[in-house]
Amino acid sequence: MICSNKECAIEFEPKTHNQKYHNDECCRVATNRRIMEKYYEKKAIRQGAARGCKKCGHQLSRYNDTSLCASCQKKTDMSKRSNILDRINEIS
Ligand SMILES: [Zn+2]
Ligand SMILES: [Zn+2]
């Protein structure tokens, strides 16, 4: 196993099957970094940093905390619904 802390990346013998970090300190550091990244991402959104829709690239409203614009969300919803309808039609 290689420690999941990128700054450490030391090779170690895992004691449990789900051990990702070579020691508690690396686990703590990596977890803290993840929390801080999330925090700054949310802060940037609140401060109105421009984000684009993942599908069409349309600029997202700062009140939209998803990665899709409203019209792409609607389209995704509709395609989901039509898939269900297609399946119902196949059965009947
Ligand atoms: Zn480590
Ligand atoms: Zn979009």
> d(Cα 37, Cα 15) in Å, to the nearest integer?
28
Q: Is the pLDDT of residue 46 over 90?
A: no
Mean of per-residue pLDDT scores for the chain: 89
89 C-beta neighbours (distance < 10 Å), count: 8
- Compute CA 79 distance to the chain's CA centroid, rounded to the nearest angstrom: 22
pLDDT for the residue numbered 91? 77
Q: Who surrounds ion ligand 2 at CB < 5 A? A: 53, 55-56, 58, 69, 72
Residue 92 CA, ligand 2 centroid: distance in Å: 34
Residue 14 has pLDDT above 90, yes or no: yes
